[in-house]
Amino acid sequence: MIYLDKNENQYGPSEKCKEVIKNITLEMFNSYSRGYPKKILNRLEKEFGVPGDKILLGYGAEDILKQVFYFVGDHQKKSILMARQAWWYYNAIAEEVNAEIHYFDMVEKKHSFEYDAARAIELMEKHRPTIVLICSPNNPTGNSISRSDLKKIVKKSISTNSFIIIDEAYWGYDGTSNHSLKLVKDYNNVLVLRTFSKFYALAGLRIGFGFAGSQFTDLIKFNMRYLGFNSISEHLTFSALDSKKYYLKIAKLVNHDKKRYFKELTSVGLKVFKSEANFILVKIPEKYIEPLKTELQKEGVLVRFFDKGAVKNTARITIGTVEQNDIAIELIKAIIEGVDNNERWLE
Ligand X SMILES: Cc1ncc(COP(=O)(O)O)c(C=O)c1O
Binding region for ligand X (CB under 6 A): 7, 60-62, 87, 135, 139, 167, 169, 195, 197, 203, 208
Q: Which is nearer to ligand X, 44 or 335 (CB)?
A: 44
HSE, side-chain direction, 13 A CA sphere, residue 229:
24
Cis geometry, peptide bond prior to residue 37 (ω within 30 degrees of 0): yes
Instruction: Determine the longest span between alpha carbons in the chain, in angstroms.
Output: 64
Whole-number minimum distance, CB 63 to ligand X, in Å?
7
Q: What residues pair up with 108 in beta bridges, in sequence order?
A: 113
Smallest separation, CB 88 to ligand X (Å): 9
Nearer to ligand X, 209 or 262 (CB): 209
Q: Which residue is nearest to ligand X (CB)?
A: 60
55 DSSP β-pair partners: 211
In the complex, least distance from residue 204 CB atom to ligand X, rounded to whole angstroms: 9
CA end-to-end distance (rounded Å), the chain: 23
Label the pairing between strands 131-135 and 100-104. unpaired
Shortest Å, Cβ 338 to ligand X = 31
In this complex, which beta carbon is closest to ligand X, that of residue 66 or of residue 274?
66
Between 302 and 346, CB nearer to ligand X: 302
DSSP letters of 163-216?
EEEEE-TTTBTTB---HHHHHHHH-TTEEEEEESSSTT--GGG--EEEEE-GGG
Identity of the residue, 160 or 314, whose beta carbon is nearer to ligand X in the bound complex: 314
Residue 59 beta carbon to ligand X: minimum distance, rounded to whole angstroms: 7
